């Protein structure tokens, strides 16, 4: 059974804090093993990548077969169900349209001292997208990572994914084609991250690595950060649903299970102002679990990490949501926008009773790559700006340096940085 808390109880604050502090991930120290893999890939390139792929994925490759051919990628669509392929293309267009609105604008202006100032945005030259592979590959992740990168203007986009025993989901390759991916490699695990970060004789290094993966992938991304950029270190999936008693309990139960079925470490939380409604949702979850194909995973998640919280009034949920800072929050209430305006920390917000989180996973438009484990307090979901960087621009004319230069000289002298002071003073024709 999930934990059930009431905000009216005297010990609620402590119990809620314990819920937030509870570790949901299996603690395993993989950093040492990953460091060795990365060291080997950096030193031996293709040889190490091929060796580790044979060891972990039982896939015998050569430098010539590391990449999928353009014909394999283009031909994958023919192996896909027509209805699913149509949905994939529709989702791709919606994701593209949404992210086009995120493109930032360059700016240049002249201030009152006559100094030209501004900034310009440029994309990274290349990005690598890690996609969990095999027959259960989440092809939607290709769209959610690759399309924002292409909208940002990234000229070279590389996908790498494991193909255990040589098995590949054709929908993943079809998603690569639809998203405009330039290169796709049959490599997974920490060795794939090393290949993208350091480059090999066959694969050129990238500037940034994004995408989800297991503990080995997450550790590898942490260890190569600085050599390349990364998006985030993602933890288990999570959802918080805020609902009043007017919602359909079966709908809310399904929403909670939509994240519970991801992984035993996932977390689903319901916050409501009605104790009877809380019980009805819990009963609906139990019923739906009996028929859910992934019921073993979902049951473990709901039993070990699920929570139901009853508050005095629905507005009280906002403060709790901010403390959770969830990856996803649904506001299935009478006035969702009013409640949303009281919430500061959430990866993605779903408004109203007809907006399940799952629509955001696939087709709504925003990327489903979102901050987890409370990092929504300081991080955002993946978007166009994650593939761009801003360069500042300064243009001093003679009168401009004359106007602001003396201040720079004074500050440099106060910091006892004489060369700094001289580089400005010489342009002011001062000794």
Question: pLDDT of 352-383, one tens digit each?
Answer: 999 999 999 999 999 999 999 999 999 999 99
pLDDT band of 210, cuts 50, 70, 90: very high
Quote the CA–CA distance of 308 and 3 in Å, as a whole number. Answer: 6
**CB burial of residue 402 (10 Å; 0-12, 13-18, 19+):** middle
Neighbours of 414 (CB within 10 A): 9
Question: Does residue 234 register a pLDDT over 90?
Answer: no
In angstroms, the CA 157 to CA 146 distance is 7
The arithmetic mean of pLDDT across residues 215-224, rounded, is: 94
- Sequence-distant (≥ 6) Cβ neighbours of residue 377 within 8 angstroms: 325, 345
Q: What Rg, from alpha-carbon coordinates, does the chain have?
A: 26
Identify which of 149, 134, 229 has the alpha carbon closest to the alpha carbon of residue 183.
149
Q: Is 328 a catalytic residue?
A: yes
Beta bridge partners of 389: 122
Buried b (16+ CB within 10 A) or exposed e, 29-52: ebeeebeebbebbbeebbebbbeb
What is the tens place of the pLDDT at every residue in 253-275?
Answer: 999 999 999 989 999 999 999 99
Please state the rounded mean pLDDT for residues 316-330. Answer: 98
- Given phi > 0 = left and psi -120 to 50 = alpha, else beta, which region is 268? beta
Categorize the per-residue pLDDT at 201 as very low, low, confident or very high, splitting at 50, 70 and 90: very high
Alpha helix (H) ranges present in 261-397? Answer: 275-289, 295-305, 317-324, 336-340, 357-362
pLDDT value for 22: 84
pLDDT at 28: 65
**What average pLDDT does the segment 322-334 reach?**
98
Tell me what pLDDT residue 133 has: 74
- pLDDT given at position 26: 58
Per DSSP, the three-state class of 424 is helix
Strands (E) in 316-398, as ranges, are: 328-332, 348-351, 388-395
Outline where 180-274 has alpha helix (H): 189-198, 215-224, 249-260
Task: Calculate mean pLDDT across residues 226-238.
Answer: 92
Count Cα atoms within 13 angstroms, Cβ side, for 413: 9
Residue at token pair 């001093």: 396
pLDDT over 90, % of the chain: 92
Once rounded to an integer, what is the mean pLDDT over residues 338-359?
Answer: 98
Which range, of 37-46, 105-114, 136-145, 297-306, averages the lowest pLDDT? 136-145
Kindly report the pTM of this predicted structure: 0.93
User: Going by DSSP bridges, is the β-strand pair 267-272/238-243 parallel, antiparallel, or unpaired?
Assistant: parallel
Sign, CA torsion 310/312/318/324: negative
Catalytic, out of 328, 330, 345, 357: 328
Q: Are 161 and 137 in contact (CB under 8 A)?
A: yes
| Helix ranges restricted to H, 270-355 | 275-289, 295-305, 317-324, 336-340
Does residue 225 contact residue 199 with C-beta atoms inside 8 Å? no
Q: Is the dihedral of CA 235, 236, 242, 247 positive or negative?
A: positive
336's CB contacts (< 8 A; 6+ apart) are 351, 352
Catalytically annotated residue among 261, 327, 330, 357: 327
262 is catalytic: no
Helix (H) or strand (E) holding 306: none
pLDDT in tens, 23-47: 776 556 889 999 999 999 999 999 9
| Residues belonging to the chain | 431
CA torsion sign for 140, 142, 145, 150 is: negative
Q: What is the pLDDT of residue 163?
A: 93
Q: What is the structure's pLDDT at 136?
A: 59
- Go through the domains of the chain in sequence order and give each one's CATH number: 31-230 (3.40.50.1980), 235-378 (3.40.50.1980), 396-428 (no CATH)
- In whole angstroms, give the CA distance from residue 209 to residue 413: 42
Report the pLDDT value the prediction gives residue 23, as an integer from 0 to 100.
Answer: 73
Tell me what pLDDT residue 294 has.
94
pLDDT of residue 215: 86
- Strands 348-351 and 208-210, by their bridges, are unpaired
Give the residue-averaged pLDDT of 402-420. Answer: 97
Helices (H), ranges, 58-133: 70-75, 82-100
Whether 428 and 401 have beta carbons less than 8 Å apart is answered as: yes
Mean pLDDT of the chain: 95
Residue (of 64, 66, 61, 38) closest to 51 by Cα position: 61
How far apart are the C-alpha atoms of 422 and 275, rounded to whole Å? 72
Q: What are phi and psi of 118, to 5 degrees?
A: 175, -165
Residues 295-320, mean pLDDT to the nearest whole number: 97
Structure confidence at residue 29 (pLDDT): 81
pLDDT tens digits for range 86-105:
999 999 999 999 999 999 99
* Pair 306, 282: CB distance under 8 Å: no
């Amino acid at each position: 059974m999930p934990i059930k808390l009431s905000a009216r109880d005297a010990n609620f604050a402590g119990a809620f804090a314990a819920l937030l502090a509870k570790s949901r991930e299996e603690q395993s120290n993989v950093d040492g093993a990953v460091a060795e893999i990365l060291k080997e890939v950096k030193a031996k390139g293709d040889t190490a990548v091929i060796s580790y792929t044979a060891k972990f994925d039982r896939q015998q490759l050569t430098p010539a077969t590391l990449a999928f051919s353009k014909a394999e990628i283009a031909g994958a669509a023919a192996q896909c169900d027509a209805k699913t392929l149509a949905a994939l293309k529709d989702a791709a267009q919606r994701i593209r349209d949404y992210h086009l609105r995120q493109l930032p604008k360059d700016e240049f202006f002249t201030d009152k001292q006559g100094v030209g100032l501004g900034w310009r945005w440029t994309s990274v030259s290349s990005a690598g997208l890690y996609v969990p592979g095999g027959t259960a590959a989440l092809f939607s992740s290709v769209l959610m990572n690759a399309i924002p990168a292409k909208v940002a203007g990234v000229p070279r986009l590389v996908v790498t994914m494991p193909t255990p025993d040589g098995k590949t989901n054709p929908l993943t390759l079809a998603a690569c084609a639809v998203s405009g991916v330039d290169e796709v490699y049959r490599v997974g695990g920490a060795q794939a991250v090393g290949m993208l970060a350091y480059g090999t004789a066959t694969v050129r290094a990238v500037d940034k690595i994004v995408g989800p993966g297991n503990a080995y992938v997450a550790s590898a991304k942490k260890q190569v950060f600085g050599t390349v950029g990364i998006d985030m270190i993602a933890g288990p999936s999570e959802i918080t649903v805020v609902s009043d008693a007017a919602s359909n309990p079966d709908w809310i139960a399904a929403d909670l299970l939509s994240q519970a079925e991801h992984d035993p470490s996932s977390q689903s939380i319901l916050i409501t102002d009605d104790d009877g409604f809380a019980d009805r949702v819990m009963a609906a979850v139990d019923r739906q679990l009996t028929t859910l194909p992934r019921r073993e995973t979902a049951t473990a998640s709901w039993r070990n990490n699920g929570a139901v919280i009853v508050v005095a009034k629905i507005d009280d949920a906002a403060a709790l949501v901010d403390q959770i800072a969830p990856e996803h929050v649904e506001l299935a209430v009478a006035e969702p926008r009013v409640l949303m305006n009281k919430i500061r920390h959430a990866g993605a917000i779903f408004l109203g009773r007809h907006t399940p989180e799952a629509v955001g996973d696939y087709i709504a438009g925003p990327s489903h790559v979102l901050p987890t484990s409370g990092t929504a307090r300081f991080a955002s979901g993946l978007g166009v700006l994650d593939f761009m960087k801003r360069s500042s621009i300064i243009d001093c004319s003679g009168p401009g340096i004359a106007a602001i230069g003396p201040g720079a000289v004074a500050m440099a002298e106060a910091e006892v940085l004489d060369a700094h002071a001289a580089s400005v003073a010489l342009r002011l024709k001062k000794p």
